[in-house]
Chains A and B, each alone.
Chain A
């Protein structure tokens, strides 16, 4: 016999921390309300018969935003065998408000008093036994973060699940209200409804969701009860809320001894004075964001002239991969040409192109997790609210957007916490504009190859700024012409600042690397093979033509005659106005929709030709003698022997970057076109995984299609502007 125990509670009370502890999983924990947006099942480490369900946080069983609906529906409709109601001991009054509603539903409940470490540090004392007596359910003090009390909590929870005894009824409401509830309850029972107590209260409160489940007739009768007892204009909802809170106040007065009376300024309050200060808040935020990128992707870290941690780590990974490639090449020396080509030019080259970027993404991710875990996210959402409001969104939208810097999929899912449908729709579109970790390699490749002589760090930063500016403009336009209902409210609890544990930060980093490894081993791996095949073969490979023509008898063909070239040539004209109307870049855009990492993978495979003498001669032919002299040719005369060195030293690799793919210059000739290409990939449809997430949030394919269309049109128009304007000014 297996049992399901659900974890319910207010947002940010520690449900997921407890879930991870109980099940050994590594679900996202973060210090702001609304981290978990979907339910998640796991099995209890110590007893495989017990399933544990992590739920999104909710303030009440009358949901306000989409993720709260998931929590409510699970508790009242799917009915777990027991609920562990997690109560944040540092804000016990507010947390017990939900507790009362959970108890009302009749589901067997155990209360976990969490954050006891912080409660003790404040000098507060909570009488767990007294609470237990009052509520008639077990109350167990725990510290989810370090596992204290968890064993006992689970023993009680399992017992409750097995006994299936509903909690006792509490004397919360006064006689008049209870009378009305009893009357409504009777009506419900006569109509054959289950869970009548809870439903009766919700109906009196005029909860739309519950009202929708009963007949019109019943609803009218219940309105009649309200009108009889409280008059026709009565707002029972306020009465119910008030009486619940009054009951809680009594309970808390009896069971909790506060260490201090009144509000004393805490460390969090002091920090807030600075971090949400009317003048300092925005500059501090700007500095933090700058540091975030400086640590990740800068060759002049904090102007010290050294590489940032991200770049430094990347160098190590790349050199290891190079050795591996050499090793593989040695082993495969005797193998047939196409095997060699598949492994070395296809898989090793393709995966190698993105592998070097994992450290960058890892560093970025670790830094973002630090921000998420310390409690700053809620503050910055608040601080930015004023600015976001100007272009029609609430500051809450910042949270999904920042997550978009890591990955679009969780970013799109996080839009669920936004209260208005308009905000959700717009933010879903904007999330796709963000420079996610997988787009980073595109920038790095382009910058090192085509902007070798510019300030590379600046070019990369400019793309981040670009994505934000475009997001602002698109949001403004959508608010002006499509949705006209103004910005929604900003209501957000600001949690205690907490010092993130090293463990949780490392876990986030590790999860990211693991996720990437899985992606590299599946989607990207298959893509490399597919790209290799499509770019090395054509029909001639299968009817013997190639084998007859090639000297070595290989069935492979020239890249320009491959399947891929044929496909690319069909799409390429579309991109002509954007400056990159050749088949290779066009194919890159398309493979990028499978996974954005594929853009770089594709380039690495398609431009992986050696710099030949003919190429060099052709390349330098574009320069006048004076220019040639300037580049380093003695007497301004082309010299085949010196050409190779001059090419690699002064033309392309001023930064000394061996990742560059010189042949990209053949197709993407100007800086304007190169920038346009980056911008197009930054803004166009995100990868399929993200589109899938968009579909889940927007519900229908029609809405998803509209959102993707906005992204595509934006990408095209903006890239066109970049190419045209760049052509004029550069």
Chain B
């Protein structure tokens, strides 16, 4: 499912990213690698606040729906 569908408090594993190559690279550099756990710790109309590798990262909803988790 898409990361954007996750609820606050949920933790899931990153599977894939469907989007531009350079964005994918940037996300990887930030710790969004396949198999990594992400937890949603906040949510508002702009998007989600995620916890990845112990760091809080905010993503807009459009981008979050390009990240596939399981």
Contacts of B18 in A (CB 8 A): none
Contacts of A62 in B (CB 8 A): 25, 29
- Give the contacts of A160-188 with B (CB-CB under 8 A): none
Nearest CB in chain A to that of B52: its residue: A94
Q: Is A676 an interface residue (CB 8 A)?
A: no
Most buried by B among A385, A389, A495: A385
Nearest CB in chain B to that of A64: its residue: B26
Question: Which of the residues B26, B31, B39, B58 comes within 8 Å of A97, measured between beta carbons?
Answer: B31
Whether B44 contacts A278 by the Cβ 8 Å rule is yes
Whether B55 contacts A241 by the Cβ 8 Å rule is no
The number of chain B residues touching the other chain, given as a range, is 35 or more
Q: Is A491 an interface residue (CB 8 A)?
A: yes
Whether A263 contacts B27 by the Cβ 8 Å rule is no
| Bound Cα distance from A49 to B43, whole angstroms | 51
Whether B42 contacts A276 by the Cβ 8 Å rule is yes
Q: A64-B25, A378-B58, A491-B27 are in contact. Are A385 and B47 (CB under 8 A)?
A: yes
Contacts of A386 in B (CB 8 A): 44-47, 60
Question: Which of the residues A245, A273, A378, A383 comes within 8 Å of B46, measured between beta carbons?
Answer: A383
Q: Is A277 an interface residue (CB 8 A)?
A: yes
What does DSSP make chain A's interface, helix, strand, loop or mixed?
Answer: helix
Mark B36-70 against chain A: 1 for CB-CB distance below 8 A, else 0: 10010111111101011111111110110000000
Contacts of A667 in B (CB 8 A): none
What does DSSP make chain B's interface, helix, strand, loop or mixed?
Answer: mixed
Contacts of B30 in A (CB 8 A): 59, 94, 491, 493
- Give the contacts of A458-502 with B (CB-CB under 8 A): 489-495
Per the CB 8 Å criterion, the residue count for chain A at the interface is 40
Q: In angstroms, how far is the closest chain B Cβ from the Cβ of A235?
A: 9
Q: In angstroms, how far is the closest chain A Cβ from the Cβ of B37?
A: 10
Contacts of A389 in B (CB 8 A): 60
For the complex with contacts A59-B29, A97-B31, A263-B54, 19 further pairs of A-B residues with Cβ separation under 8 Å are: A62-B29, A64-B25, A94-B53, A94-B54, A97-B29, A237-B25, A242-B33, A263-B41, A278-B43, A278-B45, A395-B46, A490-B63, A491-B23, A492-B57, A492-B58, A493-B57, A493-B58, A494-B49, A494-B56
**Interface pairs (23), CB distance under 8 Å:** A59-B26, A59-B29, A92-B54, A94-B31, A97-B31, A237-B28, A241-B28, A242-B33, A242-B34, A245-B33, A263-B41, A273-B42, A276-B44, A276-B49, A281-B44, A382-B44, A382-B58, A385-B47, A395-B60, A491-B59, A493-B55, A493-B57, A493-B58
Using a CB–CB distance below 8 Å, which chain B residues touch chain A? 22-31, 33-36, 39, 41-47, 49, 51-60, 62-63
